[in-house]
Amino acid sequence: MKNKSCRILARDQTVSNDTWTTGLNNNDLIIGPSGSGKTRGYVLPNLLQSGESLVITDTKGNLCAQIGPVLEGRGYTVLEINLADCVSSPYGYNPLDYIRVINGRCHEQDVMTAAAALVPLENQRDPYWELAARSMLTGIIAYVMERLPYGERTMSSVTRLFREMGTGRFDQLMSEVSEIDPECLAAVQYQMFLMTQKAEKMYASVQGILAEKLSPFSFSGVLALMNHPQKISLSRIGERKTAVFLHISDTDRSMDRLATLFYTQALHVLCGSADKRKNNRLKVPVRLILDDFAAGADSCIPDFDKITSVIRSREISVSVILQSLSQLEASYGHNKAMTIVNNCDHLLYLGGQDVETARYIATKANKSVNTVLNMPLDDAWLFTRGEAPRQVQKYNLKEHPLYHQMQKHASKRNRELFEDKAAFCELPF
């Protein structure tokens, strides 16, 4: 069934979500600094009218409260994962749930995907140390998946096993599994890693890298998140209309690696689900709205430049929201950053002070850099592949037909908060 919904890009500027009719992909690139209208001019209007399943980055933690009731009224299942406060998260997420185990052996590609997300290659010039750490992490995850009971297959167990590397217990466990099943992934990775133990400096370096990468998974809040009785199912997002809000703190970046792993696994699971269907397309199209994208090296989704080029046929799309192109290049490098940009058939530039970004936009629009930098605050530049650049007006959220529903729920929420505070004030202390 064709997707007949559309997206709002600017005032009087919409685009169909039916890629089979437009011939374009549904990937959007939104560029603009804080306060330029990324949320009110793009995210909220498109959440209000979307017919797709959604995975939304909620950096301030208020999007779910703002728009969740409206989506529920339109038949959506609304889920929230709170990485800013894992203990109070309404739903849980355990990354190791998405590593397949078949006949006692874990799926090697699933393990390597998780390890790559947790240990990104930050030093592109000399990635040797990080690759070694990634290889060792692959072995540790494989051991947890193949040797521990189902209820203990969490990142907390991975962290506990890693801490044994300094006690000798780690080598004992790995040696035992190498004797029992020398061809399993844990044994193979360990045997390869044994060669590095002779180089004391390298062994210590790998331990140091893994200690830094795994430190966020060692506290009780993450364990509570991974053992939550209500855990999200990534595959169901492509089967029925679902909105998943991933609450990430915009001031505390300690959970960025877990968020990156979530996005990585979501993309892989959804692509796999599409490939299992007869037409290789998801039953319900899925959009990932990635706000504050590429905020740092820990936010890099592995192979994202390649993924964005192959998801269109599977009815998956992304909205990449940045403050500047410089931010994207700092995280992915120039070549990968440009591949990501080129894989988005729609680019909305909301203004900003970054000169390199303005120069890129000026070249595309055939205007001077000063013209782009001095663009009126209510204007934007819209680029669609195959069409001439357009200087447009930003969308006004209040003009959306469903805006009043947001206001109604907001008023109700504020009234409940006021009543709670009033009741609190009346308590006889």
pLDDT tens figures, 122-167: 777 777 888 889 999 999 999 999 999 988 999 989 999 999 987 8
d(CA 372, CA 379): 10
Asked if 284 and 305 touch (Cβ cutoff 8 Å), the reply is no
d(CA 69, CA 78): 8
pLDDT tens per residue, range 340-360: 999 999 999 999 999 999 999
pLDDT tens per residue, range 38-94: 999 999 999 999 999 999 999 888 899 889 999 999 999 999 999 999 999 999 999
Cα Rg of the chain, angstroms: 23
- Band (pLDDT 50/70/90 cuts) for residue 216 is confident
Is 424's pLDDT higher than 80? no
Q: Which two tokens stand for residue 229?
A: 């009785």
Cα 198–Cα 199–Cα 202 angle in degrees, nearest 5: 135
Nearest in space to 106 (alpha carbons), one of 178, 185, 162: 185
d(CA 45, CA 231): 28
Residue given tokens 């998140």 in the structure block: 225
Cα 68–Cα 154–Cα 81 angle in degrees, nearest 5: 10
d(CA 37, CA 35): 6
Nearest in space to 286 (alpha carbons), one of 262, 261, 269: 269
pLDDT tens per residue, range 363-399: 999 999 999 999 999 999 999 999 999 999 999 999 9
- Band (pLDDT 50/70/90 cuts) for residue 296 is low
Asked if 301 and 295 touch (Cβ cutoff 8 Å), the reply is no
Asked if 192 and 204 touch (Cβ cutoff 8 Å), the reply is no
- Band (pLDDT 50/70/90 cuts) for residue 423 is very low
Lowest mean pLDDT among 231-245, 256-270, 292-306: 292-306
3-state SS record for 107-143: CHHHHHHHHHHHCCCCCCCCCHHHHHHHHHHHHHHHH
What's this model's pTM, rounded to 2 decimal places? 0.90
pLDDT tens per residue, range 173-203: 999 999 999 999 999 998 887 766 555 667 7
